[in-house]
Amino acid sequence: MSVRPGWEPVQPVEQVEVEGVDYGWVMQTTFVVTILVGAPVVAVLSTFVTLESWGARAAFAVRVGAPIWFLTAVVVAVYARRTEAGDGYSSPDDESDED
């Protein structure tokens, strides 16, 4: 494969400076925590209910999983806001002002 002079075959990756809550981090963390915590909770709770068909099992998983997902999202968002998690936060003392 030949590359024309002055033309890059791969676009450079863009980087973003995040101020405040990094919602990408919140979404990723919510997804992972919901799977790690929510799936076992749904499985344990399903042992106390008679689920006779796959449709009943799916409906149960949605009814129980949705509140777990919502609560996880709220907790992760509050955590991110209070601790400035996931935003690459650096304290103002670390920045040097060049005049």
pLDDT digits (tens, 9 = 90+) for 34-83: 999 999 999 999 999 999 999 999 999 999 999 999 999 999 999 998 88
pLDDT (average), residues 22-38: 92
pLDDT digits (tens, 9 = 90+) for 83-92: 877 655 555 5
Q: Over 60: is that where the pLDDT of 9 sits?
A: yes
Helices 54-83 and 39-46 meet at what angle, rounded to 10?
140
Query: Left (φ > 0), alpha (ψ -120 to 50) or beta: where does 86 sit?
Result: left
Provide the total of helices (H) and of strands (E) in the chain, helices listed first: 3, 0
pTM beyond 0.75, yes or no: no
* HSE-CB for 78 with a 13 A CA cutoff: 6
